Chains A and B, each alone.
Chain A
Amino acid sequence: MTMNGADAVLRSLEAEGVDVAFGLPGGAILPIYDAFARGTSIRHVLARHEQGAGHMAEGFARASGRTGVALATSGPGATNLVTPIADAWMDSTPLVCVTGQVRSHLIGTDAFQECDITGITIPIVKHSWLVQDVEQIPHVMKAAFHVASTGRCGPVLVDIPRDVQEAQLDFEYPESVDLPGWKPPQKGHPRQIARAAQALAAAERPVLYVGGGTLNADACEELRTLAEVGRFPVVTTLMGKAAFPETHELHYGWPGMHGPKWSNWAMNKCDLLVAVGARFDDRVTGKLAAFAPGATVIHLDIDSAEISKLRQADIPVVGPLKQVLSDLADELRALHGTGHTPRTEPWLRQLTAWREEFPLRYRRSEETLKPQFVLETLQELTAGRDDVVWTTGVGQHQMWAMQYLLCNTPRSFITSGGLGTMGYGVPAAIGAKAARPDATIVCVDGDGCFQMTQQELATSVLEGLPIVVVIVNNGYLGMVRQWQDMFFDERQSQIHLTKHLPDYAKLAEAYGGVGFTVDNEGDLEGVLEEALTCGRTAVVDARVDAAEQCFPMIPAGAAALDLVEFPDEVDEQETVAAA
């Protein structure tokens, strides 16, 4: 069928099953937007900033398990996508970005809105294409989706000059890809899996250290089976949060810089550490040489380059986690059949004892609203629901969200882990809403983060994608302040934003949403309840105690045993145990 390149892009997206795309038009991508106007089954969500479009596509991908699609024009439109692309790269989020480029004959001439976006993004994409011939479009689009979503997921970029969008081709969507250099592993090696099973059967103090790869691999069921068969404790990283039910008796929290003591001690004292789609990030390990010092390491991952990148793996298994975990559970059952029974009960009792001995704590107050109380209340209001999806920004509020929100459903906690992108929460929530229209999407944000992408409230209201934003507003760049207080002798530098300006409730109303302001414990529950049930785009400005710091904390580069607990100078009666 004869059509132009722009139509071919849309027909390709349709062939890939895309039903929603996020973007913002401009000169060099006009033909593709004209194709939208002439008709397509794809819903286009108009963002207010290309960065917003990119994070929406990420939020969509993370909530749905499908590949997100973002569109932008050349030059500044494309460079505004760089942050979401880098974010998707770090967090292995499948993302296809389509950018317009100046006409072919203008490339290299410093033309208006020209920039070498394929060059700029080379270090942060799995692959990219500058399409120079209209005939390539269907093949490139097919390859783009294939590369983004197979092996270790991640972002790809397709840059299409305007004249290529306008040129005619005879469209036929290919059934297969021709990528001789792209051969992701199809199956974990049975011998390695058998070795891993033997090590698991023999271990007395094993820990499953579960990362975001488990969610990407759609292997949460298999993970649960393995944990239950072997009675293995599970800790989930920030990216792996919700891959394992957090109210399950075998879930023992979250490792790393702001993880609870019991989780970090579990990692530190284990004799067998099983990394499942996790990559030994510095925020998890702290001082690498002191991380899980006595443990044998089994590393299960789809990406062979992660094996022994930071921590030497004693038993690596490279393959799709769904199959690897499933086979591992089968092997383990077989071993149990021959007389090996799980030996982990004393270890589980020890972990439970640590959890009871060192709970997450903070001091409640009559006068001020504590940020942790906001998160605890959100948890109580949504407990047991499987139709709530959380997104966050980056900073203290994100760490409190990790600690206090208990997520039981895969893909219900969406955050920027690797890149740590402030401003991720609001647009990611809108993308998640597009993926799950029936779910309640709650963005737990900081006041610093919110102000980076707040313009997308317009997108939320006008596109009919209502979200609830709870701003944990302490008037500061709180995590930066915490570091300045702890590591720079309290010399506070350029971190005060003020709590009351802007007036976030009024801002929400200005955007056509509902706004709430709350600054005390008594009103909090009612306000949150109303925001969660109003069905409209709602912003809750929760003005919290600015002095509160996020604990526990393992300072950067320190070991798990150097964990700094919540300061313990007051009466035990005033402390509140959680989790």
Chain B
Amino acid sequence: MRHTLSVLVENKPGALMRISSMFARRGFNIESLSVGPTERHDVSRITLRVDCEQHPLEQIEKQMHKLVNVLRVSELESGEAVERELALMKVTATPARRGELIALSQAFNARVADLGADAIVFEIVGDPEEIDSFEELVRPHGLKELVRTGRIGLGRATLNPKPNRRQHVLT
């Protein structure tokens, strides 16, 4: 089962390396990872996507908690979080097919970021599953290159950030 973890870390040299090293040495697999600044200049947020069962997930959370630079680990549970991703897709588009592709992109609120003689670069921001769908639709046209940022997420506006409840039980 897939889980999204939101991790607040001190913005210190090596913080990301300590986390990724912990994943590697304990044999946990990261599906996607994105890092960026937060509302505090000295704190970064790492959004991690992992595919694992409940027991390894608890281990991941607890092992991350032990890292000195890690301030908070919480799971973004589906339905309780807003998750977004950005993708850029370079798609083969001869002048004859352009119109069709652009019409398709409009249905997904994708944007033409660049246009060449025989290709278009689309930009799409959305729910990662929407991006999957758009990717599938443009693929038959000739998907030359693709890049995705990995998902980022925040708890819903009505929710306050909370540490994972399991930590309360244990400490």
* A contact residues vs B (CB 8 Å cutoff): 118-119, 122-123, 126-128, 130, 147, 151-152, 179-182, 185, 189, 303-305, 307-309, 316, 318-319
Contact = CB atoms under 8 A, between A and B. Distances in A.
Interface in B48-91: 55, 58-59, 62-63, 65-71
Contacts of B21: 122-123
A151 B171 CA distance: 12
Interface residues of B, number: 24
A122 B14 contact: yes
Contacts of A179: 68
A419 to B, nearest CB: 14
Interface in B7-61: 9-10, 13-14, 17-18, 21-22, 25, 55, 58-59
B68 A304 contact: no
Given A119-B17, A304-B65, A308-B55, 9 more contacts: A126-B66, A126-B68, A152-B66, A179-B68, A185-B171, A189-B171, A305-B59, A305-B65, A307-B170
B167 A304 contact: yes
Interface string B107-127: 000000000000000000000
A118 B14 contact: yes
A260 to B, nearest CB: 33
Contacts of B22: 123
A309 B170 contact: no
B71 A180 contact: yes
Contacts of B65: 304-305
B13 A130 contact: yes
Given A123-B21, A147-B68, A180-B71, A308 B10 contact: no
A488 to B, nearest CB: 28
9 contacts: A122-B14, A122-B18, A123-B22, A126-B68, A127-B67, A179-B68, A181-B69, A304-B167, A305-B62
Contacts of A318: 170-171
Contact of A308 (B58, B69, B71, B167): B58
Contacts of A185: 171
A181 B59 contact: no
A455 B21 CA distance: 35
Given A123-B25, A318-B170, A318-B171, A304 B62 contact: yes
A119 to B, nearest CB: 7
Contacts of B68: 126-127, 147, 179, 181-182
Contacts of B67: 127, 181
Contacts of A128: 14
A192 B107 CA distance: 55
A151 B67 CA distance: 12
Contacts of B55: 308
Contacts of A308: 55, 58
B66 A303 contact: yes
Nearest to B60: A305
B87 to A, nearest CB: 32
Interface of B: 9-10, 13-14, 17-18, 21-22, 25, 55, 58-59, 62-63, 65-71, 167, 170-171
A126 B65 CA distance: 12
B5 to A, nearest CB: 15
Q: Which 5 A-B pairs have the closest CB atoms?
A: A305-B62, A127-B68, A304-B170, A123-B25, A122-B21
A180 B13 contact: no
A305 B66 contact: yes
A127 B10 CA distance: 13
Nearest to B22: A123
Nearest to B72: A181
A309 B71 contact: no
A317 to B, nearest CB: 9
B14 A181 contact: no
Given A122-B14, A122-B17, A122-B18, A305 B63 contact: yes
Nearest to A306: B62
A227 to B, nearest CB: 25
Contacts of B171: 185, 189, 304, 318-319
B130 to A, nearest CB: 35
A306 B130 CA distance: 39
Nearest to A313: B170
B8 to A, nearest CB: 9
A279 to B, nearest CB: 13
Contacts of A304: 62, 65, 167, 170-171
Contacts of A130: 13-14
A338 to B, nearest CB: 27
Nearest to B26: A123
A122 to B, nearest CB: 5
Nearest to A152: B66
Of the listed residues A179, A304, A319, the one surrounded by the most CB atoms of chain B closer than 10 A to its CB is: A304
B17 to A, nearest CB: 6
Nearest to A118: B14
Contacts of A152: 66
A118 B171 CA distance: 30
Contacts of A122: 14, 17-18, 21
B12 to A, nearest CB: 9
A445 to B, nearest CB: 31
A126 B66 CA distance: 8
A308 to B, nearest CB: 7
B67 to A, nearest CB: 7
A142 to B, nearest CB: 13
Nearest to B71: A181
Nearest to A305: B62
Contacts of A118: 14
A118 B69 CA distance: 15
A300 B14 CA distance: 32
A309 B17 contact: no
